[in-house]
Amino acid sequence: MGQVTYIENCGTVHETDIANGQSLLDGALSLGISSMPGACGGDAVCATCHCIVDDEWSDKLNDMSEDEFFMLQSMDNQQANSRLACQIRMKDNLDGMIVVVADN
Ligand code: FES
């Protein structure tokens, strides 16, 4: 279990606890964050869960799959710490993680 903070571009901040193994998209959906709708249901084919991971946690994440990599490459607003929230699984060392919800 770990806490995640989501910061939307409008400035709204959301926090929730996510069980280990659940995705950051699962947490966003449980909070009803409308700017992270997760349109494809977590299959890494829509990028509506695009987020920017704070530097402190970016090195602790699981490696990116090819699907995630190519999906992010197709985004005009990709940044160095861009990830798809549906591909990030909670684990103990991610407790306290902060992500910015990207404009999609
Ligand atoms: S929910 Fe579609 S790519 Fe993450």
Domains along the chain with CATH numbers? 2-101 (3.10.20.30)
For residue 23, give Cα distances in angstroms to 1, 10, 81, 94: 11, 23, 17, 11
Span 18-38, pLDDT tens digits: 999 999 999 999 999 999 999
Asked whether 88 lines ligand 1 (CB < 6 A), one says no
Confidence (pTM): 0.95
pLDDT at 13: 98
Q: Ligand 1: which of 22, 23, 24, 25 to mutate, judged by most atoms within 8 Å of the beta carbon?
A: 25
pLDDT at 35: 95
DSSP string, the chain: -EEEEEE-TTS-EEEEEE-TT-BHHHHHHHHT-TT---TTSSSSSS-TTEEEE-HHHHTTSPPPPHHHHHHHHT-TT--TTEEEGGGPBP-GGGTTEEEEEPP-
Q: How many residues does the chain have?
A: 104
pLDDT at 103: 86
pLDDT beyond 90 at 5:
yes
Q: Ligand 1: which of 23, 24, 26, 40 to mutate, judged by most atoms within 8 Å of the beta carbon?
A: 40
Span 52-89, pLDDT tens digits: 999 999 999 989 999 999 999 999 999 999 999 999 99
